Structure 1
Protein backbone atom coordinates (compact mmCIF):
# COMPACT_ATOMS: atom_id res chain seq x y z
CA UNK A 1 0.00 0.00 0.00
CA UNK A 2 2.87 2.38 0.79
CA UNK A 3 4.34 1.99 -2.70
CA UNK A 4 0.94 2.61 -4.28
CA UNK A 5 0.38 5.69 -2.13
CA UNK A 6 3.83 7.01 -3.07
CA UNK A 7 3.19 6.50 -6.79
CA UNK A 8 -0.19 8.21 -6.60
CA UNK A 9 1.34 11.11 -4.70
CA UNK A 10 4.07 11.37 -7.34
CA UNK A 11 1.44 11.56 -10.06
CA UNK A 12 -0.39 14.35 -8.29
CA UNK A 13 2.80 16.32 -7.65
CA UNK A 14 4.05 15.84 -11.23
CA UNK A 15 0.95 15.98 -13.43
CA UNK A 16 1.37 14.46 -16.85
CA UNK A 17 2.03 17.02 -19.55
CA UNK A 18 3.19 17.02 -23.16
CA UNK A 19 6.56 18.39 -21.99
CA UNK A 20 7.07 15.52 -19.53
CA UNK A 21 6.11 13.00 -22.19
CA UNK A 22 8.57 14.47 -24.68
CA UNK A 23 11.36 14.52 -22.07
CA UNK A 24 10.72 10.86 -21.25
CA UNK A 25 10.63 10.01 -24.96
CA UNK A 26 14.04 11.63 -25.46
CA UNK A 27 15.45 9.59 -22.58
CA UNK A 28 14.10 6.38 -24.11
CA UNK A 29 15.41 7.27 -27.56
CA UNK A 30 18.86 8.01 -26.13
CA UNK A 31 18.90 4.71 -24.26
CA UNK A 32 17.39 2.36 -26.82
CA UNK A 33 16.98 4.16 -30.13
CA UNK A 34 13.82 4.52 -32.15
CA UNK A 35 12.96 0.84 -31.74
CA UNK A 36 12.90 1.25 -27.97
CA UNK A 37 10.33 4.04 -28.06
CA UNK A 38 7.01 2.35 -27.42
CA UNK A 39 3.99 3.68 -25.60
CA UNK A 40 4.22 0.75 -23.19
CA UNK A 41 7.81 1.62 -22.27
CA UNK A 42 6.90 5.29 -22.09
CA UNK A 43 3.94 4.58 -19.81
CA UNK A 44 6.16 2.56 -17.46
CA UNK A 45 8.73 5.37 -17.32
CA UNK A 46 6.03 7.93 -16.56
CA UNK A 47 4.14 5.66 -14.12
CA UNK A 48 0.92 6.10 -16.04
CA UNK A 49 -1.24 4.32 -18.58
CA UNK A 50 -0.87 4.50 -22.38
CA UNK A 51 -4.31 6.09 -22.61
CA UNK A 52 -3.13 9.10 -20.65
CA UNK A 53 -0.25 9.59 -23.09
CA UNK A 54 -2.58 9.44 -26.09
CA UNK A 55 -4.44 12.37 -24.57
CA UNK A 56 -1.36 14.52 -25.31
CA UNK A 57 0.10 12.92 -28.48
CA UNK A 58 -1.66 11.01 -31.23
CA UNK A 59 1.04 8.45 -31.95
CA UNK A 60 4.70 7.58 -32.30
CA UNK A 61 5.29 9.74 -35.37
CA UNK A 62 4.07 12.86 -33.58
CA UNK A 63 6.15 11.96 -30.54
CA UNK A 64 9.32 11.47 -32.61
CA UNK A 65 8.72 14.81 -34.29
CA UNK A 66 8.15 16.57 -30.96
CA UNK A 67 11.26 14.98 -29.43
CA UNK A 68 13.40 15.98 -32.42
CA UNK A 69 12.05 19.52 -32.37
CA UNK A 70 12.74 19.84 -28.64
CA UNK A 71 16.37 18.75 -29.07
CA UNK A 72 16.90 21.05 -32.05
CA UNK A 73 15.25 24.04 -30.36
CA UNK A 74 17.60 23.67 -27.40
CA UNK A 75 20.62 23.25 -29.70
CA UNK A 76 20.07 26.33 -31.88
CA UNK A 77 18.78 29.24 -29.77
CA UNK A 78 18.68 32.69 -31.38
CA UNK A 79 22.07 34.36 -31.58
CA UNK A 80 22.70 36.98 -28.87
CA UNK A 81 22.52 40.56 -30.05
CA UNK A 82 25.79 41.75 -31.49
CA UNK A 83 27.08 38.31 -32.51
CA UNK A 84 29.07 38.44 -35.74
CA UNK A 85 27.31 36.48 -38.52
CA UNK A 86 30.19 34.05 -39.06
CA UNK A 87 30.37 33.33 -35.33
CA UNK A 88 26.60 32.82 -35.25
CA UNK A 89 26.77 30.32 -38.12
CA UNK A 90 29.55 28.43 -36.37
CA UNK A 91 27.49 28.36 -33.14
CA UNK A 92 24.47 26.94 -34.96
CA UNK A 93 26.63 24.37 -36.72
CA UNK A 94 28.30 23.21 -33.50
CA UNK A 95 24.94 23.17 -31.72
CA UNK A 96 23.56 20.75 -34.30
CA UNK A 97 26.78 18.72 -34.39
CA UNK A 98 26.84 18.26 -30.62
CA UNK A 99 23.10 17.59 -30.42
CA UNK A 100 23.29 14.77 -32.98
CA UNK A 101 26.43 13.42 -31.31
CA UNK A 102 24.55 13.26 -27.99
CA UNK A 103 21.27 12.07 -29.56
CA UNK A 104 22.22 10.02 -32.66
CA UNK A 105 18.58 9.29 -33.53
CA UNK A 106 18.07 13.01 -34.24
CA UNK A 107 20.20 12.76 -37.38
CA UNK A 108 17.91 10.13 -38.88
CA UNK A 109 14.81 12.13 -37.95
CA UNK A 110 16.17 15.29 -39.54
CA UNK A 111 16.93 13.37 -42.72
CA UNK A 112 13.29 12.28 -42.87
CA UNK A 113 11.70 15.57 -41.94
CA UNK A 114 12.42 17.38 -45.25
CA UNK A 115 11.44 21.00 -44.60
CA UNK A 116 9.45 20.33 -41.43
CA UNK A 117 9.71 22.31 -38.18
CA UNK A 118 13.03 20.91 -36.82
CA UNK A 119 14.84 21.46 -40.11
CA UNK A 120 13.18 24.85 -40.58
CA UNK A 121 14.54 25.98 -37.19
CA UNK A 122 18.08 25.30 -38.39
CA UNK A 123 17.42 26.76 -41.83
CA UNK A 124 16.01 29.95 -40.30
CA UNK A 125 18.99 30.41 -37.97
CA UNK A 126 21.44 29.92 -40.82
CA UNK A 127 19.41 31.99 -43.27
CA UNK A 128 19.33 35.03 -40.99
CA UNK A 129 23.10 35.00 -40.82
CA UNK A 130 23.36 34.60 -44.58
CA UNK A 131 21.27 37.78 -44.80
CA UNK A 132 23.49 39.49 -42.23
CA UNK A 133 26.59 38.55 -44.23
CA UNK A 134 25.24 40.57 -47.12
CA UNK A 135 24.89 37.63 -49.50
CA UNK A 136 22.98 38.85 -52.59
CA UNK A 137 19.25 38.07 -52.50
CA UNK A 138 19.42 35.99 -55.68
CA UNK A 139 21.72 33.38 -54.08
CA UNK A 140 20.62 33.43 -50.44
CA UNK A 141 18.53 30.27 -50.75
CA UNK A 142 21.44 28.42 -52.35
CA UNK A 143 23.91 29.67 -49.74
CA UNK A 144 21.68 28.81 -46.78
CA UNK A 145 20.82 25.43 -48.31
CA UNK A 146 24.50 24.60 -48.79
CA UNK A 147 25.15 25.35 -45.12
CA UNK A 148 22.09 23.37 -43.99
CA UNK A 149 22.97 20.32 -46.06
CA UNK A 150 26.55 20.35 -44.86
CA UNK A 151 25.65 20.80 -41.18
CA UNK A 152 22.94 18.14 -41.02
CA UNK A 153 24.70 15.73 -43.38
CA UNK A 154 28.14 15.80 -41.80
CA UNK A 155 26.81 15.82 -38.23
CA UNK A 156 24.57 12.86 -39.02
CA UNK A 157 27.38 10.95 -40.71
CA UNK A 158 29.70 11.58 -37.78
CA UNK A 159 27.11 10.12 -35.39
CA UNK A 160 26.57 7.14 -37.70
CA UNK A 161 30.31 6.48 -37.85
CA UNK A 162 30.53 6.56 -34.06
CA UNK A 163 27.68 4.04 -33.74
CA UNK A 164 29.35 1.73 -36.24
CA UNK A 165 32.37 1.30 -33.95
CA UNK A 166 32.07 -1.28 -31.19
CA UNK A 167 31.54 0.26 -27.76
CA UNK A 168 34.72 0.59 -25.74
CA UNK A 169 36.97 0.74 -28.80
CA UNK A 170 39.93 3.10 -28.47
CA UNK A 171 39.41 5.74 -31.14
CA UNK A 172 43.07 6.40 -31.88
CA UNK A 173 43.91 2.70 -32.15
CA UNK A 174 40.92 2.12 -34.44
CA UNK A 175 41.86 5.01 -36.71
CA UNK A 176 45.52 3.97 -36.71
CA UNK A 177 44.53 0.54 -38.01
CA UNK A 178 42.33 2.17 -40.64
CA UNK A 179 45.17 4.50 -41.68
CA UNK A 180 47.51 1.52 -42.03
CA UNK A 181 44.96 -0.13 -44.30
CA UNK A 182 44.76 3.04 -46.40
CA UNK A 183 48.52 3.01 -46.96
CA UNK A 184 48.21 -0.48 -48.45
CA UNK A 185 45.75 0.64 -51.12
CA UNK A 186 46.69 0.67 -54.80
CA UNK A 187 48.86 3.80 -55.28
CA UNK A 188 47.53 4.38 -58.79
CA UNK A 189 43.86 4.12 -57.82
CA UNK A 190 44.05 5.87 -54.42
CA UNK A 191 47.00 8.31 -54.47
CA UNK A 192 45.20 10.97 -52.43
CA UNK A 193 43.85 8.57 -49.77
CA UNK A 194 47.35 7.18 -49.27
CA UNK A 195 48.79 10.68 -49.02
CA UNK A 196 46.44 11.79 -46.20
CA UNK A 197 46.39 8.47 -44.32
CA UNK A 198 48.79 9.82 -41.71
CA UNK A 199 46.34 12.61 -40.81
CA UNK A 200 43.55 10.20 -39.93
CA UNK A 201 44.49 8.84 -36.45
CA UNK A 202 44.72 12.19 -34.66
CA UNK A 203 42.22 14.37 -36.49
CA UNK A 204 39.50 16.11 -34.46
CA UNK A 205 36.01 15.66 -35.91
CA UNK A 206 34.69 18.96 -34.53
CA UNK A 207 37.70 20.90 -35.81
CA UNK A 208 37.36 19.36 -39.27
CA UNK A 209 33.62 20.06 -39.20
CA UNK A 210 34.16 23.74 -38.43
CA UNK A 211 36.86 23.97 -41.08
CA UNK A 212 34.28 22.88 -43.61
CA UNK A 213 31.89 25.56 -42.36
CA UNK A 214 34.60 28.18 -42.80
CA UNK A 215 35.25 27.00 -46.36
CA UNK A 216 31.56 27.39 -47.21
CA UNK A 217 31.38 30.80 -45.55
CA UNK A 218 34.41 31.94 -47.52
CA UNK A 219 32.74 30.77 -50.71
CA UNK A 220 29.43 32.55 -50.08
CA UNK A 221 30.83 35.79 -48.67
CA UNK A 222 30.19 38.72 -51.00
CA UNK A 223 33.20 39.77 -52.99
CA UNK A 224 34.24 43.39 -52.95
CA UNK A 225 33.85 45.04 -56.32
CA UNK A 226 37.27 45.71 -57.89
CA UNK A 227 38.18 49.37 -57.93
CA UNK A 228 37.72 51.11 -61.23
CA UNK A 229 41.02 51.68 -63.02
CA UNK A 230 42.27 55.27 -62.94
CA UNK A 231 41.15 57.34 -65.86
CA UNK A 232 43.72 58.14 -68.43
Structure 2
Protein backbone atom coordinates (compact mmCIF):
# COMPACT_ATOMS: atom_id res chain seq x y z
CA UNK A 1 0.00 0.00 0.00
CA UNK A 2 1.49 3.41 -0.87
CA UNK A 3 2.07 6.09 1.70
CA UNK A 4 -0.64 8.71 2.12
CA UNK A 5 0.74 11.14 -0.44
CA UNK A 6 2.50 8.76 -2.80
CA UNK A 7 1.09 9.09 -6.34
CA UNK A 8 -0.22 5.91 -7.86
CA UNK A 9 1.40 3.92 -10.62
CA UNK A 10 -0.33 3.55 -13.97
CA UNK A 11 -1.16 -0.16 -14.42
CA UNK A 12 -1.47 0.38 -18.17
CA UNK A 13 2.08 1.56 -18.74
CA UNK A 14 4.04 -0.16 -21.51
CA UNK A 15 6.16 -3.09 -20.23
CA UNK A 16 9.88 -2.58 -20.09
CA UNK A 17 9.66 1.19 -19.71
CA UNK A 18 8.72 1.23 -16.06
CA UNK A 19 5.36 2.32 -14.77
CA UNK A 20 4.50 5.97 -15.13
CA UNK A 21 3.03 7.74 -12.16
CA UNK A 22 -0.38 9.31 -12.03
CA UNK A 23 -0.77 12.74 -10.50
CA UNK A 24 -3.21 11.95 -7.71
CA UNK A 25 -2.55 10.75 -4.18
CA UNK A 26 -4.73 9.30 -1.45
CA UNK A 27 -5.38 12.82 -0.18
CA UNK A 28 -6.70 13.91 -3.56
CA UNK A 29 -8.74 10.72 -3.94
CA UNK A 30 -10.46 11.33 -0.61
CA UNK A 31 -10.93 15.05 -1.26
CA UNK A 32 -12.66 14.34 -4.57
CA UNK A 33 -14.70 11.55 -3.01
CA UNK A 34 -15.99 13.98 -0.38
CA UNK A 35 -16.73 16.56 -3.09
CA UNK A 36 -18.73 13.98 -5.05
CA UNK A 37 -20.63 12.94 -1.94
CA UNK A 38 -21.43 16.57 -1.11
CA UNK A 39 -22.68 17.18 -4.63
CA UNK A 40 -24.53 13.95 -5.40
CA UNK A 41 -24.88 11.95 -2.19
CA UNK A 42 -23.93 8.32 -1.67
CA UNK A 43 -25.56 7.23 -4.93
CA UNK A 44 -23.29 9.58 -6.87
CA UNK A 45 -20.05 8.13 -5.53
CA UNK A 46 -18.89 5.22 -7.65
CA UNK A 47 -15.36 4.04 -8.25
CA UNK A 48 -15.74 4.74 -11.97
CA UNK A 49 -17.16 8.25 -11.46
CA UNK A 50 -14.39 9.12 -9.01
CA UNK A 51 -11.68 7.78 -11.31
CA UNK A 52 -13.06 9.78 -14.24
CA UNK A 53 -13.14 12.91 -12.11
CA UNK A 54 -9.50 12.41 -11.20
CA UNK A 55 -8.50 11.63 -14.76
CA UNK A 56 -7.61 7.95 -14.41
CA UNK A 57 -9.08 4.48 -14.51
CA UNK A 58 -10.81 2.49 -11.74
CA UNK A 59 -7.55 0.67 -10.99
CA UNK A 60 -6.11 3.97 -9.78
CA UNK A 61 -8.74 4.04 -7.02
CA UNK A 62 -8.41 0.35 -6.15
CA UNK A 63 -4.73 1.04 -5.50
CA UNK A 64 -5.89 2.70 -2.27
CA UNK A 65 -9.19 1.03 -1.32
CA UNK A 66 -10.63 -2.46 -1.59
CA UNK A 67 -14.03 -1.20 -2.72
CA UNK A 68 -16.76 1.38 -2.43
CA UNK A 69 -17.61 0.64 1.22
CA UNK A 70 -14.06 1.22 2.35
CA UNK A 71 -13.92 4.37 0.24
CA UNK A 72 -17.05 5.71 1.97
CA UNK A 73 -15.62 4.97 5.40
CA UNK A 74 -12.32 6.63 4.54
CA UNK A 75 -14.05 9.66 3.01
CA UNK A 76 -16.09 10.05 6.19
CA UNK A 77 -12.94 9.76 8.29
CA UNK A 78 -11.20 12.43 6.23
CA UNK A 79 -13.98 14.86 7.19
CA UNK A 80 -13.84 13.77 10.83
CA UNK A 81 -10.08 14.37 10.77
CA UNK A 82 -10.82 18.04 10.17
CA UNK A 83 -13.28 18.09 13.07
CA UNK A 84 -10.72 16.46 15.35
CA UNK A 85 -8.06 18.97 14.34
CA UNK A 86 -10.42 21.84 15.13
CA UNK A 87 -11.06 20.63 18.69
CA UNK A 88 -7.62 19.32 19.62
CA UNK A 89 -6.83 22.42 21.63
CA UNK A 90 -10.20 22.63 23.37
CA UNK A 91 -9.47 23.21 27.02
CA UNK A 92 -11.55 25.13 29.53
CA UNK A 93 -11.92 25.08 33.28
CA UNK A 94 -15.34 23.52 32.81
CA UNK A 95 -15.31 20.06 31.17
CA UNK A 96 -19.03 20.39 30.33
CA UNK A 97 -18.26 23.47 28.25
CA UNK A 98 -15.53 21.51 26.46
CA UNK A 99 -17.94 18.66 25.68
CA UNK A 100 -20.37 21.24 24.30
CA UNK A 101 -17.70 22.76 22.02
CA UNK A 102 -16.67 19.34 20.65
CA UNK A 103 -20.30 18.28 20.15
CA UNK A 104 -21.15 21.47 18.23
CA UNK A 105 -18.11 21.07 15.97
CA UNK A 106 -19.12 17.49 15.17
CA UNK A 107 -22.74 18.48 14.57
CA UNK A 108 -21.79 21.32 12.22
CA UNK A 109 -19.69 18.94 10.12
CA UNK A 110 -22.47 16.36 9.77
CA UNK A 111 -25.62 18.47 9.44
CA UNK A 112 -24.49 20.02 6.15
CA UNK A 113 -23.58 16.62 4.70
CA UNK A 114 -26.62 14.32 4.51
CA UNK A 115 -24.38 11.37 3.62
CA UNK A 116 -22.01 11.69 6.58
CA UNK A 117 -24.36 10.78 9.42
CA UNK A 118 -24.72 7.22 8.15
CA UNK A 119 -20.96 6.67 7.94
CA UNK A 120 -19.55 8.52 10.95
CA UNK A 121 -18.32 6.02 13.58
CA UNK A 122 -19.43 3.12 11.39
CA UNK A 123 -16.05 1.37 11.48
CA UNK A 124 -13.52 2.71 13.96
CA UNK A 125 -10.86 0.44 12.45
CA UNK A 126 -11.06 2.30 9.15
CA UNK A 127 -12.02 5.57 10.83
CA UNK A 128 -9.40 6.38 13.46
CA UNK A 129 -10.56 9.98 13.79
CA UNK A 130 -14.08 8.94 14.77
CA UNK A 131 -12.54 6.92 17.59
CA UNK A 132 -10.35 9.89 18.56
CA UNK A 133 -13.40 12.17 18.70
CA UNK A 134 -15.20 9.66 20.93
CA UNK A 135 -12.07 9.53 23.09
CA UNK A 136 -11.84 13.33 23.18
CA UNK A 137 -15.38 13.65 24.52
CA UNK A 138 -14.80 10.78 26.94
CA UNK A 139 -11.65 12.41 28.31
CA UNK A 140 -13.69 15.40 29.41
CA UNK A 141 -15.90 13.11 31.49
CA UNK A 142 -12.75 11.86 33.27
CA UNK A 143 -12.59 15.35 34.77
CA UNK A 144 -16.01 14.84 36.39
CA UNK A 145 -16.79 12.83 39.55
CA UNK A 146 -18.60 10.04 37.71
CA UNK A 147 -18.33 6.26 37.72
CA UNK A 148 -17.00 4.38 34.70
CA UNK A 149 -20.57 3.36 33.83
CA UNK A 150 -21.79 6.94 34.07
CA UNK A 151 -18.91 8.18 31.90
CA UNK A 152 -19.56 5.50 29.28
CA UNK A 153 -23.27 6.30 29.19
CA UNK A 154 -22.72 10.06 29.12
CA UNK A 155 -20.19 9.91 26.27
CA UNK A 156 -22.31 7.50 24.24
CA UNK A 157 -25.42 9.63 24.80
CA UNK A 158 -23.67 12.78 23.59
CA UNK A 159 -22.22 11.13 20.48
CA UNK A 160 -25.50 9.38 19.69
CA UNK A 161 -27.50 12.60 20.11
CA UNK A 162 -25.13 14.65 17.95
CA UNK A 163 -24.94 12.17 15.07
CA UNK A 164 -28.61 11.22 15.22
CA UNK A 165 -29.94 14.78 15.24
CA UNK A 166 -27.43 15.96 12.63
CA UNK A 167 -28.32 13.06 10.33
CA UNK A 168 -32.04 13.74 10.80
CA UNK A 169 -31.75 17.48 10.21
CA UNK A 170 -29.33 16.94 7.35
CA UNK A 171 -31.72 14.83 5.27
CA UNK A 172 -31.97 15.65 1.60
CA UNK A 173 -34.39 18.49 0.96
CA UNK A 174 -37.92 17.56 -0.20
CA UNK A 175 -38.36 17.12 -3.94
CA UNK A 176 -40.48 20.27 -4.20
CA UNK A 177 -37.59 22.31 -2.79
CA UNK A 178 -34.90 20.55 -4.84
CA UNK A 179 -36.90 21.14 -8.03
CA UNK A 180 -37.39 24.82 -7.27
CA UNK A 181 -41.16 24.46 -7.04
CA UNK A 182 -41.02 25.81 -3.48
CA UNK A 183 -38.41 27.71 -1.51
CA UNK A 184 -37.35 26.24 1.82
CA UNK A 185 -39.30 28.98 3.60
CA UNK A 186 -42.42 28.28 1.55
CA UNK A 187 -42.14 24.57 2.36
CA UNK A 188 -41.91 25.35 6.08
CA UNK A 189 -44.89 27.70 5.84
CA UNK A 190 -46.95 24.99 4.14
CA UNK A 191 -46.03 22.46 6.84
CA UNK A 192 -46.95 25.02 9.51
CA UNK A 193 -50.32 25.61 7.87
CA UNK A 194 -50.94 21.84 7.85
CA UNK A 195 -50.23 21.72 11.58
CA UNK A 196 -52.53 24.65 12.28
CA UNK A 197 -55.31 22.84 10.42
CA UNK A 198 -55.16 19.84 12.77
CA UNK A 199 -57.96 19.41 15.28
CA UNK A 200 -56.92 21.23 18.46
CA UNK A 201 -58.78 18.78 20.68
CA UNK A 202 -56.86 15.86 19.21
CA UNK A 203 -53.48 17.64 18.95
CA UNK A 204 -53.27 20.14 21.84
CA UNK A 205 -49.48 19.99 22.04
CA UNK A 206 -49.04 20.68 18.32
CA UNK A 207 -51.25 23.76 18.60
CA UNK A 208 -49.36 24.86 21.70
CA UNK A 209 -45.95 24.88 19.95
CA UNK A 210 -46.88 25.60 16.32
CA UNK A 211 -45.71 29.22 16.54
CA UNK A 212 -42.34 28.01 17.83
CA UNK A 213 -42.18 25.50 14.98
CA UNK A 214 -42.87 28.24 12.45
CA UNK A 215 -39.93 30.35 13.68
CA UNK A 216 -37.42 27.71 14.75
CA UNK A 217 -33.99 27.08 13.25
CA UNK A 218 -32.41 23.63 13.28
CA UNK A 219 -29.12 24.67 14.83
CA UNK A 220 -30.75 26.58 17.68
CA UNK A 221 -33.02 23.62 18.38
CA UNK A 222 -30.04 21.25 18.37
CA UNK A 223 -28.13 23.40 20.85
CA UNK A 224 -31.15 23.58 23.14
CA UNK A 225 -31.39 19.78 23.16
CA UNK A 226 -27.66 19.45 23.73
CA UNK A 227 -27.84 21.84 26.69
CA UNK A 228 -30.61 19.74 28.23
CA UNK A 229 -28.43 16.62 27.92
CA UNK A 230 -25.39 18.39 29.34
CA UNK A 231 -27.46 19.74 32.24
CA UNK A 232 -28.35 16.16 33.11
CA UNK A 233 -24.68 15.14 33.09
CA UNK A 234 -23.81 18.13 35.26
CA UNK A 235 -26.58 17.23 37.70
CA UNK A 236 -25.41 13.60 37.85
CA UNK A 237 -21.84 14.74 38.53
CA UNK A 238 -23.03 17.19 41.19
CA UNK A 239 -20.99 20.08 39.81
TM-score range, shorter chain: 0.7 to 0.9
Tell me the distance in 1 between the aligned counterparts of 2:90 and 2:218.
Answer: 29
Tell me the distance in 1 between the aligned counterparts of 2:84 and 2:197.
Answer: 42
1:188, distance to aligned residue in structure 2 (A)? 3.0
In the alignment, structure 1 residue 66 sits paired with structure 2 residue 74: yes
CA contact (8 A) 1:18 1:57 kept: no
Tell me the distance in 1 between the aligned counterparts of 2:124 and 2:152.
Answer: 13
CA contact (8 A) 1:107 1:155 kept: yes
Unpaired stretches in structure 2, ≥5 consecutive residues: 1-19
Corresponding residue to 1:150 among 157, 161, 176: 161
In the alignment, structure 1 residue 135 sits paired with structure 2 residue 150: no
The alignment's TM-score, normalised by the length of structure 2, stands at 0.79
Select between 79-88 and 204-213 the one with higher mean Cα deviation. Answer: 79-88
1:138, distance to aligned residue in structure 2 (A)? 3.1
* Pairing 1:9-158 to 2, within 5 Å after superposition: 15-77=23-85, 78-80=87-89, 82-83=91-92, 84-110=94-120, 113=122, 117=127, 119-158=130-169
The equivalent residue for 2:183 is 170
CA contact (8 A) 2:76 2:119 kept: yes
1:74, distance to aligned residue in structure 2 (A)? 0.9
Corresponding residue to 1:193 among 206, 209, 224: 206
Provide closer, same or farther for how the CA distance between residues 224 and 142 of structure 1 changes in structure 2, counting only shifts above 3 A.
closer
Tell me the distance in 2 between the aligned counterparts of 1:102 and 1:139.
Answer: 31
In the alignment, structure 1 residue 159 sits paired with structure 2 residue 167: no
RMSD between superposed Cα atoms in Å: 2.5
1:119, distance to aligned residue in structure 2 (A)? 4.2
- Structure with the higher fraction of residues in helix conformation: 1
CA contact (8 A) 1:122 1:148 kept: no
Tell me the distance in 1 between the aligned counterparts of 2:124 and 2:90.
Answer: 27
Provide closer, same or farther for how the CA distance between residues 149 and 43 of structure 1 changes in structure 2, counting only shifts above 3 A.
same
Corresponding residue to 2:233 among 217, 220, 228: 220
The alignment's TM-score, normalised by the length of structure 1, stands at 0.81
1:14, distance to aligned residue in structure 2 (A)? 7.3
1:22, distance to aligned residue in structure 2 (A)? 0.8
Tell me the distance in 1 between the aligned counterparts of 2:228 and 2:134.
Answer: 18
CA contact (8 A) 1:154 1:209 kept: yes
Tell me the distance in 2 between the aligned counterparts of 1:214 and 1:19.
Answer: 36
Number of aligned pairs?
Answer: 213
Unpaired stretches in structure 1, ≥5 consecutive residues: 1-11, 226-232
Provide closer, same or farther for how the CA distance between residues 213 and 79 of structure 1 changes in structure 2, counting only shifts above 3 A.
farther
